[in-house]
Structure formats: structure tokens, C-alpha cells
Amino acid sequence: MFAKWGILCSALRAQCCSELSSNQATSKHQFTFVDNSGPRMNIQIKFLNGSTYPLQVSPSTTIGELKKLIHGLSDHAPARQKLTTGNGVNFSNDSSTLSAIGLKPGSCVMVLVTDPAPSQVFLKNEKGQTSTYDVMPGETVTAFKSKVYQKEKVPVDQQRLIYNGKQLDDGRKLEDYDIVSGSTVYLTLRLRGG
């Protein structure tokens, strides 16, 4: 995977640098991060789809702040962004400043948007058996119940899911109940009235 990332970054770096030298930014807007504590520098933000945005930042801007600015440009959450300049600059520490990692005026920062990783949640049924489920960030209780149906063969309308003593309501998200990777949800059956 890292080899592919390196090849991709090299190609993007070449394209981004040629656009910088020919001054052909594809955005009509100049985005600015206002920081009155020091000088500012212009950099380019480039996405894999070819979109390029000029951005004015301070050398004291942190990587975390830069990711938030990019989020404003693209709607991609900071946690899903992987940043590189294509020459091995490490963007992994969100508290590092742009000057500390050697970013200079005119630098081109490439953005790779990653899919959020699933987390594993456990489900314990009435028989005491535990099953593991992969859930995505933002997954709803309704979607989780569908997965439970596929594996446990308990109809959705008969499932009663409990976490930390609270019944999970359809339409809400698992994260609304603070369900995280490694959490155990309990399945009880609803009795049919008649």
C-alpha cells in the first residue's frame, strides 16, 4: 500500500509543482487562514480528483489546523485526510507546525481521503453466545439490527438491543449511546403480543 501511495504522491507532486510554476490554480478563490502573530505564506492544496486550491497560512499553523481548513474546502473530515508533499515529509503529528515540518511558501500539499475504518462491536444473545460485528462510524441502530438479522436470524421487529442498561432506539446512531470498538450490546427478544 505504501508503495502505491509513494507512486501516487510522486505523480501528484509533479503535476502540482508544474501548476504552481505556471500559476494555473484551478480554484477561483483564495482561502486564507487569519493569524496575526506572524508572516503568512501561500501553499497549494491538491486533491486526487485534480482540484487545486490556493491557501494562505501562517508558518505557525499546525497540521491539525490545516486539516480543518481543508475540511472547509472539501467537506472531508480531518480524521479521513492523509497529507503529504510527495517528498517524504511526515504529516502524522497534528500538533506539529508547518514550519517545523519544513513546509515553505509555494509548497504543494496533496490530500488523500481515506475511508473510515470499521470498529468491532460484540453482540451477546440470550443463550450467552457472543458474535462480532463490524460497524462503521455513523452507523444507525436500524442498520445494525439488519446485520444482526443476517447473522442471528432474529427478525428486526423482535430485536431488543440493550447497551449500558439503555434500549437502543431505531433511527439513532450507535455512537449516540457511546458504543465504541470493543463494546458489548445485549440482544433480548420482544415477545409478540396477541
- Percent of the chain exceeding pLDDT 90 equals 64
- Provide, for the chain, the percentages of residues in helix, strand and coil under a 3-state DSSP scheme, each rounded to the nearest 5: 30, 30, 45
Range of the domain at 180: 119-189
Judge if 12 and 84 occupy the same domain.
yes
| pLDDT for residue 75 is more than 90 | no
CATH number of the domain to which 102 belongs: 3.10.20.90
Judge if 123 and 109 occupy the same domain.
no
Instruction: Record the cell numbers describing residue 136, joined without a space.
Output: 462503521
**Who wins on pLDDT, 46 or 92?**
46
Q: What average pLDDT is seen over the chain? A: 83
**Who wins on pLDDT, 192 or 149?**
149
Judge if 51 and 124 occupy the same domain.
no
Q: Quick check: is 177 in a domain?
A: yes
- Could you give the C-alpha distances from 29 to 44, 55, 163, in angstroms and in order? 12, 9, 47
Q: Using 50, 70 and 90 to split pLDDT, how confident is the model at 193? A: low
| Residue 22, pLDDT score | 44
Judge if 132 and 82 occupy the same domain.
no
* Residue whose C-alpha cell is 510554476: 21
Judge if 106 and 139 occupy the same domain.
no
Q: How far apart are CA 134 and CA 176, in angstroms?
A: 17
Q: How far apart are CA 159 and CA 133, in angstroms?
A: 16
Boundary-marking domain end, from 66, 97, 113? 113
| Residue 81, pLDDT score | 92
pLDDT in tens, 150-188: 999 999 999 999 999 999 999 899 999 999 999 999 999
Q: Quick check: is 145 in a domain?
A: yes
Judge if 37 and 89 occupy the same domain.
yes
Q: What is the mean pLDDT of residues 53-71?
A: 95
pLDDT in tens, 83-137: 998 777 778 899 999 999 999 999 999 999 988 889 999 999 999 999 999 999 8
Q: How far apart are CA 33 and CA 29, in angstroms?
A: 13
- The string over 95-123, giving b where at least 16 C-beta atoms fall within 10 Å of a residue's C-beta and e elsewhere, is eebbeebebeeebbbbbbeeeeeebebeb
- On the CB side of 180, CA atoms within 13 Å amount to 1
Judge if 105 and 132 occupy the same domain.
no
Prediction pTM value: 0.53
Q: Using 50, 70 and 90 to split pLDDT, how confident is the model at 12? A: very low
Backbone φ and ψ for 83, nearest 5 degrees, come out as -110, 145
If phi > 0 it is left, if psi is from -120 to 50 it is alpha, else beta; for residue 75 that is: left
Q: Quick check: is 194 in a domain?
A: no
* Count of domains observed in the chain: 2
| Residue 92, pLDDT score | 85
| Residue 181, pLDDT score | 93
* Residue whose C-alpha cell is 505504501: 2
Judge if 133 and 109 occupy the same domain.
no
Judge if 129 and 171 occupy the same domain.
yes
| Residue 191, pLDDT score | 74
| pLDDT for residue 13 is more than 80 | no
Judge if 124 and 106 occupy the same domain.
no
Q: Quick check: is 50 in a domain?
A: yes
Judge if 6 and 88 occupy the same domain.
yes
